[in-house]
Amino acid sequence: MDQTPYIARLQNVAKTHMLDNVAVRALKDITVDIPRGKFNVFIGESGSGKSTLLNLIGCIDVPTSGNIEVCDQNTRLLDDNQLSDFRAQHIGFIFQTFNLMPVLSAYENVEYPLLLKQTPERERKDLVLSTLEKVGLLDHINKFPNELSGGQRQRVAIARALVKKPELILADEPTANLDHKNSAEILDLMLSIQNSEKTTFIFSTHDIKISHNVENLFMIMDGAIL
Amino acid sequence: MRFLSIAYRNICRNKRRSLMTVLAIAVSSVSVLLFGGNLISIIYSLQTGYVRTAGHIHIYKRGYSRFGTANPGAYAMTDYERVLSIVRGDPEVKRKLRAAMPFMMLQGIAGNFKANASQGFTGIGILPSQMTRFMTWDQYHLKVTKADLSLGMGDQDVVDGVIGYGMAENMKLCKELKIEGCADDPAMKKDNAGSGKTVDFSALTDEDFPPETANANIPRLDLLAATSSGVPNVVTMTVHNARRFGSNAQNNGLVVMHLDMAQKLICGRGQPSVTGIMIQLNRTDDMDAVIKRLQQLLPASDYEVKSFGEVSPMYNQTIAMFATTFGFVALIMGVIVLFTTINTMSMSVMERVSEIGTARALGLRRSAIMTQFVAEGFLLGVIGATLGTVLALAASAVINWAELAWTPPDYATPVLLSVHLFLSPFFLPACWLGLIAVTTLSSFFPARNAAHMPIVDALRHH
């Protein structure tokens, strides 16, 4: 089947969640098409709904109403196991707090998604090493997360998202916990990877400076896209 | 293997907590194994004691076990030689047979009239050479007691018998039998000497078993009992030696004598008979098969074939009591392990909520999250149960080496406190697997909670 030009299509998507028995509308009737093969940035203040939107696109949350298609798949039609497999196959995640597995080395953290995809060992090794080389961490493959700096940890997280060659990488404020220098390096790294691999990135940030470097920018405020 | 490797690393993250959990499992394992090993030891020692003194199987004349005690004459077995030849002649039984012997149970009054002493006794007539063979049965290679088990009598000692230490004391035979720590009761001597309270029935003895022999210093007892036809009869028995029998009742009132003497006492000049035939097998495991075979060989209308457990119901009752006690202790230990592991695994889940969210976001299924935590519980169980087993083996070796002795209730002789973990082949593996099953099961509930966390909530958790 031919791919559509959109990596994600949201139609009238709303998300309401309960906070101390009070219904909070995190997203209000959002309809948006996010292009494939681009570096897409959602920019908005804290609490504007960026993370909720990325969670819905990443299939780790379900909308209260509306339809979501990700990688040409209507996610409402998938059960929990199918969603897990879908994420394992198609989506890479980069988190604000890195979220590396503390008991796994840098190499093993990057290898982890390939184990879920049941990639053969030989191929796995080649992929892990080449990806770690791309993010400049070949000298640190046996180090555990607590032995790495913040910037290095985020590079491992990028390698982990990238290693399985997903169609979509979701990066939820990946530079928020880094200093200015590291933030710039990480952003440059992701931009260069997107440029070379043509992987679709959906990136959320509250930092307006980042918007200068990207082609597809979506402004989000109070749960709605402007 | 990857799951177990990750599980091991996760266990090592909080070393102190994991160590405490492993120790709790190990201590439970040691407790269950040592207690169970000791009970098994007691049960097999008990079995060894029964089999040494009474064999595995008894053959009686039909109706004896129900009515024979009250009317032994009517249920005496006169064709015992024929029955013995059937038992010994059958190839299937012969292969499993260790010894077979006719025996006679009797009750009467024993008197030492030189010392004005008399008391009731329970007697058993046996063939000394066969009894000696019975007493050396040791299928489980157990060291039950330090006491010498041999009777010291031979088949030629037809007028001899062996009595308990307590009876020797009552019969004032301590000096003559040179028993250490035994003293004749001075009050009894003072009360009875020349008082005529004790009736001398030695004059009633048969000429074949004369009351006086050449050496008057040989310790003797006159035994009075009713013959199978109800007539009083007396024989004089030479007391070969005194020994400590197992229970206080036996020690104070049992007389083991040559079968010829017992038959003379009970049958008089009539046809010799016996109470029954006792059979000892090489292995207890063969008992059911041999009983079945004997029931085929001997007509059910004439004979009854009983296992030692049926003859002495206390054996099975004791085992049932021990099994219940062990089950109760094992249950308590299991519950302790269950709650300890649930607590540890719940803490582990709480500390790793964010990791659970990450793993789920990366594509790990709920079942895989569950497997991960259950694997950790399983590993804790394996480490704890294995450590406990090693400690229990070491402790049992020390206990057995120390040869500590204790005297069970109503026992006359001390028995060795021992712990045998391999006598019952399934005991050790069952305890090991049981503990692992408990820890695995108890990690299931926290694992289920972990697997069903909403991913978004888990990712927000720090």
- What is the tens place of the pLDDT at every residue in B269-312? 888 999 999 999 999 999 999 999 999 999 999 999 999 999 98
Number of residues that this document lists for chain B? 462
CA–CA separation, A94 vs A159, rounded Å? 9
pLDDT digits (tens, 9 = 90+) for A106-148: 999 999 999 988 899 999 999 999 999 999 999 999 999 999 9
Distance of CA A216 to the CA centre of its chain: 16
Q: Domain range holding B154?
A: 63-299
User: Are B42 and B79 in a shared domain?
Assistant: no
Does residue B309 belong to any structural domain of this protein?
A: no
Place of tokens 């083996």: B393
In this predicted structure, what is the pLDDT of residue B114? 83
How close does chain B come to A177, measured CA to CA in Å?
14
Nearest to A97 among B6, B9, B462 (CB): B462
Same domain, B248 and B290: yes
DSSP string, A70-93: ETTEEGGG--HHHHHHHHHHHEEE
Q: Is the pLDDT of residue B250 over 50?
A: yes
**A198 φ, ψ (degrees, to nearest 5):** 60, 25
- B98, B160, B176: which is closest to B125 by C-alpha? B160
Instruction: Return residues 185-214 of A near B (CB < 8 Å).
Output: none
Burial of B309 (0-12, 13-18, 19+ CB in 10 A): middle
Q: Is B58 domain-assigned?
A: no
CA distance B128 to B380: 57
How many independent structural domains does chain B possess? 2
Comparing A211 with A56, the larger pLDDT belongs to A56
Q: Please choose, from the candidates B419, B421, B396, B417, the residue with its C-alpha nearest in 3D space to the C-alpha of residue B408.
A: B417
Q: How many Cα neighbours within 13 Å face the side chain of B135?
A: 17
Residue pointed to by tokens 């990057």: A110
* A10, two tokens: 């949201």
Nearest chain A Cα to B360, which residue?
A: A84
* Most A CBs within 10 Å, among B351, B358, B366, B461, to test the A interface: B358
Residue B69 to residue B85: CA distance in whole angstroms: 26
- pLDDT computed for residue B453 by the predictor: 95
Final residue of a structural domain among B299, B329, B349: B299
| Residues 12 through 71 of chain B touching chain A, CB cutoff 8 Å | 13
pLDDT digits (tens, 9 = 90+) for B134-173: 988 999 988 766 666 677 888 898 999 999 888 998 898 8
Which residues in A lie closer than 8 A to residue B360 (C-beta atoms)? 60, 84
- List the one residue out of A187, A190, A185, A188 whose CA is nearest residue A207: A187
What is the average per-residue pLDDT within B330-336? 95
- Asked if the structure places residue B328 within a domain, the reply is yes
Amino acid at site B202:
S
Backbone φ and ψ of B178, nearest 5°? 50, 55
Nearest to B255 by CA among B238, B272, B270, B268: B238
pTM of the prediction? 0.81
**DSSP assignments along B6-33, one per residue:** HHHHHHHHTHHHHHHHHHHHHHHHHHHH
Q: What are phi and psi of B170, to 5 degrees?
A: -65, -35
Angle at B205 between CA B199 and CA B210, to 5 degrees: 120
> Which residue in this structure is represented by tokens 């519950």?
B335
Q: Are B40 and B159 in the same domain?
A: no
**Contact map slice: B 108-127 vs A, CB within 8 A:** none
Judge whether B359 is closer than 8 Å to chain A, CB to CB.
yes
Structural domain ending residue among the three candidates B299, B326, B351: B299
Judge if B247 and B324 occupy the same domain.
Answer: no
Question: How far is B47 from chain A, CA to nearest CA, in Å?
Answer: 54
Asked whether the beta carbons of A160 and B358 are under 8 A apart, the reply is no
Query: What's the gap in Å between the CA of B346 and the closest CA on chain A?
Result: 18
Write down the domain spans for chain A: 39-63+80-225
Q: Which residues contact A22 (CB under 8 A, 6 or more apart)?
A: none
**Same domain for B279 and B355?**
no
Could B13 and A99 be called an inter-chain contact, meaning their C-beta atoms sit closer than 8 Å?
Answer: no
Q: Give the residue from B242, B268, B299 where a domain finishes.
A: B299
**B152 and B41 within one domain:** no
Nearest-CB residue to B363 (from A85, A95, A101):
A85
Residues of A in contact with B367 (CB under 8 A): 81
CB B117 within 8 A of CB B172: yes
Query: What was the pLDDT predicted at B214?
Result: 46
Residue labelled with tokens 């290898």: A111
Q: Count of A–B CB contacts within 8 Å?
A: 63
What is the C-alpha separation between B236 and B222, in angstroms, rounded?
A: 4
Q: Give the chain A residue nearest B2 (alpha carbons).
A: A115
Q: Is residue B204 part of a domain?
A: yes
Q: Which of A84, A107, A164, A170 would you mutate first to test chain B, the one with the most B CBs within 10 A?
A: A84
Q: Residue B33 in contact with residue B389, Cβ under 8 Å? A: yes
Residue at B173: amino acid letter? L
CB-based contact A81 B366, cutoff 8 Å: yes
Q: Model ipTM?
A: 0.94
Say whether both B251 and B363 belong to one domain: no
pLDDT tens digit sequence for B35-90: 999 999 999 988 998 999 899 999 999 999 888 877 777 889 999 999 999 999 99
Whether residue A101 is predicted with pLDDT greater than 80 in this model: the reply is: yes
The CA distances from residue B185 to B176, B177, B182, B190, in Å, are 14, 15, 9, 9
Interchain CB distance below 8 Å, A60 and B365: no
The answer to whether domain A39-63+80-225 has CATH 3.40.50.300 is yes
Region A62-73: mean pLDDT is 94
Looking at CA atoms only, how far is residue A130 from chain B in angstroms? Answer: 20
Collapse the DSSP code of B187 into the 3-class scheme (helix H, G, I; strand E, B; otherwise coil) and give the result: helix
Instruction: Say if B305 falls within a structural domain.
Output: no
Q: In 10 A of CB A164, how many CB atoms?
A: 23
| B4 close to A (CB below 8 A) | no
Would you say residue B208 lies in a domain?
yes
Average pLDDT score over chain B: 88
B197 and B282 inside one domain: yes
> Which of these ranges, A77-81, A166-170, A175-179, B349-353, has the smallest mean pLDDT?
A175-179
- H/E stretch holding B408: none
Query: Looking at the complex, does the CB of residue B190 fall below 8 Å from at least one CB of chain A?
Result: no
Chain A window 65-124: which residues touch B at a Cβ cutoff of 8 Å? 80-81, 84-89, 93, 95, 97, 99, 101-104, 112-113, 115-117
| Statement: residue B236 has pLDDT above 50 | yes
Q: Do residue B179 and residue B237 come from a single domain? A: yes
Q: Is B402 on the interface with A (CB under 8 A)?
A: no
- Is the domain of B42 the same as that of B67? no
CB contact (8 A) between residue B363 and residue A115: no
Q: Are residues B123 and B222 in the same domain?
A: yes
Segment (H or E) for B111: strand B97-112
Q: Domain for residue B159, yes or no?
A: yes
Q: Which residues of B touch A169 (CB under 8 A)?
A: none
Least CA distance to A54: which residue of chain B?
Answer: B456
Contact A166/B at CB under 8 A: no
In the prediction, which pLDDT does B454 show?
95
Q: Are A93 and A58 in contact (CB under 8 A)?
A: yes
Of B379, B378, B345, which Cα lies nearest the Cα of B451? B345
A190 CB neighbour count, 10 Å cutoff:
24
In single-letter form, the type of residue at position B340 comes to T
Contacting residues of B for A104, CB less than 8 Å apart: 6, 9
Question: With 70 as the cut, is the pLDDT of residue B2 above it?
Answer: yes
Note whether B221 and B354 are same-domain residues: no
